[in-house]
Homo-oligomer: A and B are copies of this chain.
Amino acid sequence: MRSESRLIRWICWIVVVAALFFLGFMIGWFAKPSHPNTPEDRDSSIYLREFLDEMQSDKIREHLRKFTRLPHLAGTEQNLKYAVQIKTEWLAFGLDSVEMVPYDVLLSYPNETQPNYISIVDQHGTEIFNTSFAEPLPEGYEDISNIVPPYSAFSAKGQPEGDLVYVNYGRTEDFLQLEREMDINVTGKIVIVRYGKIFRGNKVKNAILAGAQGIIMFSDPADYWATGVQPYPDGWNLPGGGAQRGNVLNLNGAGDPLTPGYPAKEYTYRFKLEDAVGLPKIPVHPIGFHDAVHLLKNMGGQIPPNNWKGALNISYRIGPGFTNDFRSQKVRMNIYTNNKVSRIYNVIGRIRGALEPDRYVILGGHRDAWVFGGIDPMSGAAVVHEMVRSAGKLLSKGWRPRRTIIFASWDAEEFGLQGSTEWAEENAKLLQERAVAYINADSAIEGMYTLRVDCTPSLHTLVYDITKQIASPEEGEEGVSLYESWHKRDNWTNDRDAPRISKLGSGSDFEAYFIRLGIAAGRARYTKNKNTERYSSYPVYHSVYETFEIVEKFYDPSFKRLRVVAQVRGSLVFQLADSKILPLNLNEYANSLSKYAQSIARLAQNHMDEMRTYNVSFDSLFSAVENFTLAASGFHERLQDLNKADSLQVRAMNDQLMYLERAFIDPLGLPGRPFYRHVIFAPSSHNKYAGESFPGIYDALFDIENSPDPEKSWDEVKRQISIAAFTVHAAAMTLTRPA
């Protein structure tokens, strides 16, 4: 071989080798993805399945048993002990961190040496009948101490004496009817009303506005007794000796009455008691129906309309005072309840997010109970505990959610949502910027019929999606999804063919997060059949009979319903924390806004002439809603086209989703209620329109109906429509911009 030809061959070789190498290099270079492909979505759904499957009925039963042995009222030693235990167990379950967060807030307790009671006194002032000091204790709990007797927390002290007037449920319309149709003035009288229909604090407010010097609330069997059911312990009805505890504040979202707007820390300025928010100025007391019969049976005065009559075997006369034979007898309230600044403890656990630790999904529910809290709140707390255990298991398998999850065990919910509100106040700036959603975890069960979900409209779709992945807990429904089971039992008929989802109201710990801060929120529990079961909440609500046994024997013997609630709440938290794109549907928000706007406009049509006179129109609101609807659908179209590998773009669109709920917050608040700031969802000031959206407009319309100055009142309606229209436009803008 000539060296020349060898050289050529070598050159060929080198060229071939280089070409091959180059080819390999190029293929290698281009084969490697620029944006590492994350198989996270598929992994996430596998982990979700494991998370849900890990939750066990027996464990929930154990948790519930453990945390309902002793009374644990807010501010007591025992509630602190449970807090410490929860902290210890959450850490053992594997959370990244758990801390106790104390606040010093205003609570209220009966005087330990002077019991509260109500008397009938004769003409000599002698007490000839006294209501019971306490409820008869349920079997097995006879030796338990520290059971607080039924009382109205934050009642004023005093011994008012006077004639009784019966005012049905104590609603605005009841007092109006009393004044206008029955011509009875309650100034200086003691009002007696039955529990139910509206929040007890509003009954007290109405009684004060009407001039009463005291108010008694009783549980009427018509409202706290299910037909065909035995009283506890043989069934789940309220015994005649049972009574409903509860606070009688009118806080409107302020939290601790002494530190509105700011967390109750050691350095915080406290109002004087006379400047405290929402304390009633008159004595208030709750009784059961055994006691109520004694107060009511001899009452004189008019016979009331039928819808004022309860189910006791008496004639429900209005008064004032007793019939002729008993005319000289009066009623005296003896109330010695004390307000007291007390230390409360939230327990806050965290799982740090893997990719977006600065985005928070919060699961919060309270721990404090009036007595044992068998249903309220421990059925919910047990579910949370099981969710934490299951999440811990997942962590040990290597999972970590995209975003941070915060678990909260709130204190002093029963005293006005104080634990949750103080924490929201302390963390307001963080939450405003970082909170994706708040899922509430109060009582997980209030009936045995089907699922109940209340949430912000953007969560509708997620709720439907997840309930399709969960099995029905009902006997004989093997292979049926929770969605189907729920759909069958509670269809949304008029609105759409799907299970009913309601608006979030108020009265549980989501208030500060949803109504004050504008964080997307929802809650889920098992509920009764509201078409056939017409009692308020559940019969033993806030009585000593809310025990572990009432759940175990009647509400959920298999603990499968509680498990399903755990799975629903758990799926919500999991998906919100782990989905690459936040599972919020703004088209649903648009639909809801449109319905709400139509509904308020329809109501206003009762005043067509005046609306013409004062030039009032809902057009601007409708046009804002239309604008929002277009913005939402445009946004979701763009979301489809999003390059999911571009983490900044994903983050930016998630931010738009997250902040959408925030856009409905008006920093100025609703008129006179600075802590109710959600323009769409806040409780109306008037129970007549409770549950309606656009509370500012409803409140203004209510005033129309009761105002001496129509021009001024219609002006306020116009102002409120304008605020609503602006807010909806502004929310739309957050979707169409940037840039």
Contacts and interface: CB of A to CB of B under 8 A. Distances in A.
Interface of A: 16-17, 20-29, 31-32, 34, 36, 96, 261-263, 265, 267-269, 350, 352-353, 355-358, 360, 404, 426-430, 433-434, 620, 623-624, 647-648, 651-652, 655-656, 659, 662-663, 666-668, 674, 677, 715, 718-719, 721-723, 725-726, 730-731, 733-734, 737-739
B24 A739 contact: no
28 contacts: A20-B24, A21-B21, A21-B24, A22-B24, A24-B26, A25-B31, A28-B32, A29-B32, A96-B739, A261-B666, A265-B726, A267-B620, A267-B722, A268-B726, A269-B721, A358-B656, A358-B737, A404-B738, A404-B739, A426-B730, A427-B730, A428-B730, A429-B662, A429-B663, A433-B655, A433-B659, A647-B648, A668-B674
A358 B655 contact: yes
A174 to B, nearest CB: 34
A719 B269 contact: yes
Contacts of A353: 738-739
A737 B359 CA distance: 11
Given A34-B36, A651-B651, 16 more contacts: A21-B27, A22-B24, A23-B24, A24-B28, A26-B28, A263-B726, A269-B719, A352-B739, A353-B739, A356-B648, A357-B652, A358-B656, A360-B739, A429-B663, A429-B733, A433-B734
A22 B31 CA distance: 13
A269 B722 contact: yes
Contacts of A648: 355-356, 647-648, 651
Nearest to A350: B739
Contacts of A730: 426-429
Contacts of A27: 21, 24-25, 28
Nearest to A650: B648
A23 B600 CA distance: 72
Nearest to A22: B24
Contacts of A32: 28-29, 32
A308 B1 CA distance: 114
- Listed residue (A29, A647, A733) with the most chain B CB atoms within 10 angstroms of its CB: A29
Contacts of A723: 262, 269
A652 to B, nearest CB: 5
Quick one: copies of this chain in the complex?
2
A659 B262 contact: no
List 7 A-B pairs, minimum CB-CB distance, nearest first: A24-B24, A28-B28, A25-B28, A267-B620, A269-B722, A21-B24, A357-B739
Chain A: interface secondary structure?
Answer: helix
Contacts of A357: 652, 738-739
A734 B429 contact: yes
A46 to B, nearest CB: 23
A715 B269 CA distance: 9
B652 A356 contact: yes
- Listed residue (A17, A268, A357, A738) with the most chain B CB atoms within 10 angstroms of its CB: A738
- Listed residue (A404, A434, A731) with the most chain B CB atoms within 10 angstroms of its CB: A434
B726 A267 contact: yes
B659 A722 contact: no
Nearest to A268: B722
A185 to B, nearest CB: 35
Contacts of A360: 738-739
Contacts of A29: 28-29, 31-32
Contacts of A24: 20-28
A23 B263 CA distance: 63
Given A404-B738, A647-B647, A739-B353, A430 B668 contact: no
Contacts of A21: 20-21, 23-24, 27
A734 B430 contact: yes
Nearest to A723: B262
Nearest to A737: B430
Contacts of A427: 730, 733
Contacts of A31: 25, 29
Contacts of A404: 738-739
Nearest to A26: B28
A621 B22 CA distance: 66
A652 B725 CA distance: 33
A652 B358 contact: yes
Nearest to A259: B722
Contacts of A352: 738-739
- Listed residue (A26, A352, A715, A730) with the most chain B CB atoms within 10 angstroms of its CB: A730
A426 to B, nearest CB: 7
A214 to B, nearest CB: 32
A195 to B, nearest CB: 35
A655 B648 CA distance: 13
A143 to B, nearest CB: 45
Contacts of A659: 429, 433
A668 B733 contact: no
A725 B666 CA distance: 25
A16 B23 CA distance: 14
Nearest to A17: B20
A662 B433 CA distance: 10
A409 B371 CA distance: 64
B434 A738 contact: yes
Contacts of A265: 726
Contacts of A721: 269
A674 to B, nearest CB: 6
Contacts of A350: 739
A667 to B, nearest CB: 5
A447 B21 CA distance: 69
Contacts of A429: 659, 662-663, 730-731, 733-734
- Listed residue (A31, A36, A668) with the most chain B CB atoms within 10 angstroms of its CB: A668
Nearest to A659: B433
A338 to B, nearest CB: 23
A651 B668 CA distance: 30
Contacts of A433: 433, 655, 659, 662, 734
A137 B434 CA distance: 58
A549 B700 CA distance: 57
